[in-house]
Amino acid sequence: MSNTLGKIFRTTTWGESHGEGVGVVIDGCPAGIPLSILDLTTELDRRRPGQSQITTQRRESDKPLIFSGVFEGVTLGTPIMIMVKNQDGRGKDYQDTENTFRPSHADYTYEAKYGIRDWKGGGRASARETVGRVAAGAVAQKILSAHNIEIVAYVKKVWNINAEVDTDLITREDVESNEVRCPDASVANTMIDRIKKARKDGDSLGGVVEVVARGVPAGIGEPVFDKLDAELASALLSLPACKGFEIGSGFSGTSMTGSEHNDPFYMDSGRIRTRTNHSGGVQGGISNGENIVIRAAFKPTATIAKEQDTVDKFGKETTIKGRGRHDPCVLPRAVPMVESMVALVLCDLLLRQSVNHTANS
């Protein structure tokens, strides 16, 4: 099982949904980066369950403990271990799934691969695992901010409700202005109401998180197989429930001509710019200095309160009805997860770029 992301800034997550805790080991973080518990909790609070009426009602404080790699508020350059204890696990809620496979979950595939699985809440396949990713992302964002790189994600779409957002102007404050994390006030309440209705109906909804990375310098990315857009796609598609990735024009670009889709260059105060950004800030797998604009599609939450057909591990057909506490829509809590994955990729590639420059100097 692959649990590590990155080649220089390496992130290894660990833990299961209803185990003793979850966390991360970060190796390759440069020394001298100011890092506090507050830096971590600021991001973890945005990811934690029980934060609003439209998220899972599991109650976790998600208070991180830093076990190593930080001294007097500064990173040492040694491995950083961060742990968050699980406090509100209810394994008994999943007793029915011990021998029965939940539709569209990882239950059957984990059993097929390993011959054993932690059936309490999905174990390692649960979104609870992303606590470690978000904690590591907070560290990565500290490094990126020192290079004036800013990452802002937001809910772009819930079900068939779309938001209009200006990627040049959007701020974190705009995103955090409501519980669905949609900065378009004209549709945010409609999204919230639709999610509440899905919960009442025992159902769930999917949607799209869009993210913009601003201030990324030109030249970041490692062709051929470690292209920036390929690394971003791999990172985001590794998130639970993420089923699609687009950058720039994405699939809509297929309905354009080349003359429509190309991004013409021009000079702006001695800097090469593009007049359009259909490429999404990446050309040839390398950043071109424009905003990197990405969209990640998330499926509806698989656990629903409606009865569904399934089979058990003995091959007997049966039915199952979701129990426990689950998000009727993962989008609001996916926002910090998406930001974190983008930060981890950019941080790793930025550090790799500095190593390349050093080696070539």
- Dump pLDDT digits (tens) for 288-321: 999 999 999 999 999 999 999 999 999 999 999 8
Q: What is the pLDDT of residue 91?
A: 65
Q: What is the pLDDT of residue 128?
A: 92
Q: What is the pLDDT of residue 104?
A: 95
CA 77 from centroid of its chain's CA atoms: 25
The answer, yes or no, to whether residue 359 has pLDDT greater than 70, is no
The answer, yes or no, to whether residue 221 has pLDDT greater than 60, is yes
Q: What is the pLDDT of residue 59?
A: 75
> What mean pLDDT comes out for the span 62-72?
97
- Dump pLDDT digits (tens) for 311-351: 999 999 999 988 766 889 999 999 999 999 999 999 999 99
Q: What is the pLDDT of residue 89?
A: 65
- Dump pLDDT digits (tens) for 228-285: 999 999 999 999 999 999 999 999 999 999 999 999 999 999 999 999 999 999 999 9
The answer, yes or no, to whether residue 358 has pLDDT greater than 70, is no
Sign of the alpha-carbon dihedral angle for 200, 237, 128, 310: positive
Q: What is the pLDDT of residue 51?
A: 81
- Dump pLDDT digits (tens) for 105-138: 999 999 999 999 999 888 899 999 999 999 999 9
The SS3 assignment for 123 reads helix
Assigned CATH topology for domain 4-360:
Chorismate synthase, AroC fold (3.60.150)
What burial letters (b/e) apply to 175-199, b meaning 16+ CB within 10 Å? beebbbbbbbeebbebbbebbeebb
Token pair 């990173």: residue: 75
Which helix H or strand E contains 193, and what residues bound it?
helix 185-200
> What mean pLDDT comes out for the span 20-26?
96
Q: What is the pLDDT of residue 265?
A: 97
Per DSSP (E only), the strands in 253-358 are 265-268, 271-274, 282-283, 286-287, 292-298, 307-311, 317-321
Q: What is the pLDDT of residue 278?
A: 98
Q: Which residue has the higher pLDDT, 359 or 198?
A: 198
pTM beyond 0.85: yes
User: Percentage of the chain surpassing pLDDT 90?
Assistant: 86
Q: What is the pLDDT of residue 361?
A: 53
> At 96, is the pLDDT very low, low, confident or very high (cuts 50, 70, 90)?
confident
Q: What is the pLDDT of residue 281?
A: 98
Q: What is the pLDDT of residue 95?
A: 82
* Average per-residue pLDDT for the chain: 94
Strand-pair partners of 244: 297
The answer, yes or no, to whether residue 145 has pLDDT greater than 70, is yes
Domain ranges in the chain? 4-360
